């Protein structure tokens, strides 16, 4: 894919068309807010939702990247504010007699519910319902809830670690997930949240952690992670210390896998990798050398193979089992820079 390609999110490659809807439960910050991706019925002239739903999220991204709202928020809005997600907004749900498996997706620090639309819609196109949460614990770049009084919103900004507080203790108590569905997935801070969810909620049968930021996970919790985890790492983010923490889990469970996608950076597993032109990419370092479409293929196919194995699905996702062993183009087992040391 050369540099002439337009800046747009890719549609799902699976056999199902994808719909999405926003769901808000409750009129307090303790309620749930999520974007649901699901297989849907075809609908002529279907509306496509904006990728950045509100201008306030542009301000939140400016705050998270430590840039001035005065110029950075308008830059985000102009550059990517008109981008739409290639799914059917509120499209009719496609009936399924056996029911679709459910994945709970947890975003990373400074993100929000739409920033992983590519991987979420890709998984939905293969027959999953994916609930992309938007956290209200100040780890999102911005979020809000609607108060009981009609039309009144309360916005919750991103919160940095307060001066004088240790980052481990501050982040460790954020972003807990207590849901009872089938599988959990997340990126960065959301990746370690997915691992923690296996401890907190017995109903989760496995976790997929995209470039997990392992730092906030307490050492005492490692022996308590009871279920398999698939760690899909990028080449430029992880450290030997972080990989060592992942290997502590894989040494306890042979079904826990660690792979690294070569030519990728931390943001390669977000939608930014598809939407940043040369200016913003150079400014924020959001794209690696690997073609982003190829990176998405590796990520989604490895996840599908892993989910089939641990959710007992009767699909053909096992055709990608080699990826779970780090076998394939642009993928290696564990981490290339520290395999000989650990």
Q: Which residues are catalytic?
A: 188, 211, 266
**DSSP characters over 272-325:** HHHH--HHHHHHHT---SS-HHHHHHHHHHHHHHHHHHHHT--SSGGGGGGGGG
Alpha helices in 81-150 (DSSP H): 117-125
Q: How many residues does the chain have?
A: 342
- Tokens representing 148? 């009981």
For residues 329, 307, 315, 298, the Cα torsion angle rounded to the nearest 10 degrees is -20
Integer Cα distance of 46 and 90 in angstroms: 9
**Token pair belonging to 328:** 């394939």
Please give the sequence-ordered ranges of beta strands (E in DSSP) within 134-269, or none if there are none.
142-146, 153-157, 183-187, 206-210, 229-234, 257-261
Q: In the β-sheet with 229-234, what is the strand arrangement from edge to edge?
A: 88-89, 17-25, 32-40, 129-133, 102-106, 183-187, 206-210, 229-234, 257-261, 331-333
Are the beta carbons of 193 and 175 closer than 8 angstroms?
yes
Q: What is the torsion angle, in degrees rounded to the nearest 10, for the CA atoms of residue 33, residue 56, residue 196 and residue 337?
A: 140
CA distances from 154 to 32, 157, 174 (A): 14, 10, 20
The number of angstroms, rounded, from the C-alpha of 282 to the middle of its chain's C-alpha atoms is 23
């Amino acid at each position: 894919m050369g540099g002439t390609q337009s800046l747009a999110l890719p549609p799902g490659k699976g056999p199902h068309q994808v719909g999405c809807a926003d769901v808000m439960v409750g009129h307090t910050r303790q309620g749930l807010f999520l974007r649901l991706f699901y297989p849907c019925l075809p609908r002529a002239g279907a509306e496509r939702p904006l990728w950045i739903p509100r201008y306030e999220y542009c301000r939140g991204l400016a705050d998270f990247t430590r840039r001035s709202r005065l110029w950075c928020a308008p830059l985000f809005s102009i550059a990517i504010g008109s981008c739409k997600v290639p799914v059917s907004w509120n499209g009719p749900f496609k009936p399924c007699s056996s029911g679709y498996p459910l994945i709970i997706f947890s975003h990373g620090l400074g993100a929000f519910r739409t920033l992983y639309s590519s991987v979420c819609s890709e998984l939905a196109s293969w027959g999953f319902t994916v609930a992309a949460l938007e956290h209200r614990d100040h780890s999102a770049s911005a979020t809000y809830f609607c108060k009981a009084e009609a039309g009144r919103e309360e916005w919750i900004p991103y919160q940095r670690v307060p001066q004088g507080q240790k980052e481990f203790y501050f982040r460790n108590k954020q972003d807990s997930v207590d849901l009872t569905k089938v599988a959990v997935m997340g990126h960065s801070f959301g990746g370690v949240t997915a691992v923690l969810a296996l401890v907190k909620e017995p109903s989760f049968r496995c976790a997929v952690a995209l470039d997990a930021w392992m730092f906030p996970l307490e050492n005492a919790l490692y022996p308590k992670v009871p279920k398999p985890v698939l760690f899909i790492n990028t080449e430029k983010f992880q450290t030997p210390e972080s990989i060592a923490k992942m290997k502590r889990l894989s040494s306890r469970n042979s079904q826990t896998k660690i792979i690294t996608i070569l030519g990728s950076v931390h943001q390669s597993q977000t939608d930014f990798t598809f939407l940043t032109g040369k200016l913003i990419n150079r400014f924020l370092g959001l794209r690696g050398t690997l073609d982003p479409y190829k990176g998405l293929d590796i990520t989604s196919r490895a996840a599908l193979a892993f989910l089939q194995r641990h959710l007992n699905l009767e699909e053909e996702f096992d055709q990608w089992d080699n990826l779970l062993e780090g076998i394939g183009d642009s993928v290696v087992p564990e981490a290339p820079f520290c395999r000989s040391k650990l």
